[in-house]
Structure 1
Amino acid sequence: MSSLILPDWPLPAGVTACSSTRHGGVSLPPYDSLNLGEHVGDDAQAVARNRQCLVTAAGLPQMPLWLEQVHGTRVLTLDGQTPEDLRADAVYSNVAGLVCAVMTADCLPVLFASQAGDEVAAAHAGWRGLCHGVLENTVARFTAAPENITAWLGPAIGPSRFEVGAEVRAAFMDIDSAAAAAFTPHGEKFLADLYLLARQRLQCAGIFRHLWRVIVAQ
């Protein structure tokens, strides 16, 4: 099984991107096998080996700086120095050779690149962060105009599986009534389409170049 998913998008020269799968690591069940999170109870040495496996498989220039994700909207800017506060749910950089990375399970990873290839970002978009503006905050870090930024929507829980309460729908509707299209009644709850919600937010931020096609690496 492949350990990488490659975005099928028109990346500029010098920019590479990927998403890992759960395959290709050393963690034992229930973390099998390429678990990258230290916060879920997995063996720390296994996580360290998995992270190195990712660096090698993806050909990354260095180990990513792993965020302390809190389902918020803070965006961390990487400049080559190690920041004191790693609590953030998105990361941006305009420094060549730096890696922007987020960890997701059911939540939606969104990768960004300027057409010039001199700015990149990654955002962790769970429903809370998505609702409260993590994508908009990420776009705001770019000096490139929104029409010159491409976003890729990575693997996440699908609209037929993501069940939420009425309060989640109401939170999105309070911001944009168009969000109603992303919620389908399901008994006393709703099924939510994270992809549609993300596309709506990206369009409101001026980004219309958003893709979700993938190539599964061998």
Structure 2
Amino acid sequence: MISERQWLEPEWPLTDRVGALCTTRLGGVSEAPWDSFNQGLHVGDNPDHVIRNRRRLAQSAGLESGSIGWLDQVHGTRVVELTPQTVTTVPEADASFTRHPGMACAILTADCLPVVLADDQASVVGAAHAGWRSLCGGVLENLVDSLGVGRQCLHAWLGPAIGPERFEVGPEVREAFISQHPEAERAFVTSPSRSGHYLADIYELARIRLAHAGVTRIHGGGLCTVSDSARFFSYRRDGQTGRMATLVWLKQTVSPES
């Protein structure tokens, strides 16, 4: 089993009823350049190593090996529901949610922003792959809508992503966000190294989108995958590399004996 020190967990008031974590690159069996806890089957790693890593993840998190709902992520905005009938499929989507305890929504990232949502009553959880295209397209808003609970009841956690000092984008990216929410301008500063380009704060952009969707209790944010090569995979830094997994699930409840 991997050590809990080798993954990240949200600091939020839901830990007794909601499980959530983001893996690091530590604690697995994959060899360089996927070393060592790669969770992505699509990045060129030995599939047997990835399967062993995923089994180790499930065991360490206290989940059944077949209870993690993986997605075929395409930088889109589609949201799917995870049920006992769909958990073994791999749908093309960039967000998922579930109302079934013991089933985990899963997102793979290596610079894009993973976002998890859960409500106060621990009745539903969801996770989104929020790279800039999905984020600008409305994946978070779609996920919030899909959960079907009051926005004031929701908590969000932002996992590790490319930081604001390393995320250089073109002017079209800045304009796409500002055209929808003018206050997004504060998430961009002029790039010091490339004329006409900007450094973007994807954490701030996500907070703005969540706030407009009615979600204001937002936790996490601020870790940079590019800068921390010891803990995190980063596609922008390394090109061929592994993927971290961000999971969220409703914990199984045990009924008191009568």
The alignment's TM-score, normalised by the length of structure 1, stands at 0.94
CA contact (8 A) 2:80 2:96 kept: yes
CA contact (8 A) 1:154 1:212 kept: yes
2:83 matched residue in structure 1: 79
Q: Number of aligned pairs?
A: 215
Question: SS of the residue aligned with 1:81?
Answer: coil
Following TM superposition, by how much is the alpha carbon of 1:178 offset from its aligned partner in structure 2, in angstroms?
1.0
CA contact (8 A) 1:89 1:123 kept: yes
Please point out which of 179, 188, 209 is paired with 1:201.
Answer: 209
Answer yes or no: is 1:120 the counterpart of 2:125.
yes
1:10 matched residue in structure 2: 13
Identical columns (%)? 49
Once residues 159 and 51 of structure 1 are traced to their aligned partners in structure 2, the CA distance between those partners, rounded to angstroms, is 30
1:132-186 CA deviation, whole Å, 9 max, x = no partner?
1000000001221000000001111110011111111111112111111001101
Following TM superposition, by how much is the alpha carbon of 1:6 offset from its aligned partner in structure 2, in angstroms?
1.1
Mapping of residues 116-195 of structure 1, within 5 Å: 116-186=121-191, 187-188=194-195, 189-195=197-203
Once residues 93 and 5 of structure 1 are traced to their aligned partners in structure 2, the CA distance between those partners, rounded to angstroms, is 21
The alignment's TM-score, normalised by the length of structure 2, stands at 0.79
Q: Give the 3 Å change call, closer, same or farther, for CA 33–85 of structure 1 in structure 2.
A: closer
Following TM superposition, by how much is the alpha carbon of 1:118 offset from its aligned partner in structure 2, in angstroms?
0.8
1:27 matched residue in structure 2: 30
2:43 matched residue in structure 1: 40
Per chain length, whose mean CA-contact separation is higher, i.e. which structure has more relative contact order (CA < 8 Å, sep 6+)?
2
Stretch deviating more after TM superposition (87-96 or 74-83): 74-83
Once residues 82 and 152 of structure 1 are traced to their aligned partners in structure 2, the CA distance between those partners, rounded to angstroms, is 25
Once residues 18 and 143 of structure 1 are traced to their aligned partners in structure 2, the CA distance between those partners, rounded to angstroms, is 23
CA contact (8 A) 1:136 1:205 kept: yes
2:73 matched residue in structure 1: 69
CA contact (8 A) 1:62 1:99 kept: no
**5+ residue gaps, structure 2:** 223-230, 232-258
CA contact (8 A) 1:106 1:157 kept: yes
Stretch deviating more after TM superposition (164-173 or 4-13): 4-13
Once residues 185 and 206 of structure 1 are traced to their aligned partners in structure 2, the CA distance between those partners, rounded to angstroms, is 30
Q: Give the 3 Å change call, closer, same or farther, for CA 162–213 of structure 1 in structure 2.
A: closer
Following TM superposition, by how much is the alpha carbon of 1:61 offset from its aligned partner in structure 2, in angstroms?
3.9
Question: SS of the residue aligned with 1:17?
Answer: strand
Stretch deviating more after TM superposition (158-167 or 2-11): 2-11
Q: Give the 3 Å change call, closer, same or farther, for CA 121–193 of structure 1 in structure 2.
A: same
**5+ residue gaps, structure 1:** none
Which contiguous aligned blocks of 4+ residues in structure 1 show a shift greater than 6 angstroms?
Answer: none
Following TM superposition, by how much is the alpha carbon of 1:15 offset from its aligned partner in structure 2, in angstroms?
1.3
Amino acid of the structure 1 residue aligned with 2:213: A
Question: SS of the residue aligned with 2:57?
Answer: helix
